[in-house]
Chain A
Amino acid sequence: NAGVTQTPKFRVLKTGQSMTLLCAQDMNHEYMYWYRQDPGMGLRLIHYSVGEGTTAKGEVPDGYNVSRLKKQNFLLGLESAAPSQTSVYFCASSNRGSPPSGANVLTFGAGSRLTVL
């Protein structure tokens, strides 16, 4: 059981380049999230999705776009990368329902480290 898988694990971009981070989960979770983690700032929510075909903005959505065409996949796109987007990106998923077995007990991927030069 793989859980949450993120690809790629590492990427170096030049300013202005575009790229897509892929997140896949095999737990049949309804909700999926993209966070970024920067030193001293904790995890900040970029975008999230509560179901296939739906997305919503989080705390820091500017410069990013997302799509959830299939329930198991959540894509994060950077159309024109900037040095400020250098970060570690984490995808997470959670199930609908009441805790502790359900909603918002997050399962995270291993992270994708992005450097924008």
Chain B
Amino acid sequence: SQKIEQNSEALNIQEGKTATLTCNYTNYSPAYLQWYRQDPGRGPVFLLLIRENEKEKRKERLKVTFDTTLKQSLFHITASQPADSATYLCALLYTGGFKTIFGAGTRLFVKA
């Protein structure tokens, strides 16, 4: 079955630096790879989506890359702020499917 691996250790960075989170998956590549943000006690919120045939996607301070050879996505937050502190979830969706598969998430702490 498909597995998604995200770093279970929290990532601590200083304000203003770039945070980079990693998502690795096994088996076959998804049609779409998504990133969600989850704050404590709340539901996940969609951030970005990248298609199988796209290498990179940007939205404001966010950048996502997708390497189907390495079976990996990197999620970058540039000029990070304390308000970016949250858990970030990677999710995969396959062609023709209705089921989105989630990783366990990586906790990000941005210190002022």
Contacts and interface: CB of A to CB of B under 8 A. Distances in A.
Contact of A43 (B32, B49, B102): B102
Interface stretch (B12-20, B37-45, B64-72, B75-83): B37-45
Interface residues on A, range: 20 to 34
Interface in A27-85: 31, 33, 35, 40-45, 48, 50, 56, 58-59
Contacts of B102: 35, 42-44
B44 A106 contact: yes
B46 A106 contact: yes
Nearest to A92: B43
24 contacts: A4-B43, A31-B98, A35-B102, A40-B8, A40-B104, A42-B4, A42-B102, A42-B103, A42-B104, A44-B102, A45-B99, A50-B98, A56-B98, A58-B99, A90-B44, A92-B43, A99-B49, A99-B51, A104-B34, A106-B44, A106-B91, A110-B42, A110-B43, A111-B41
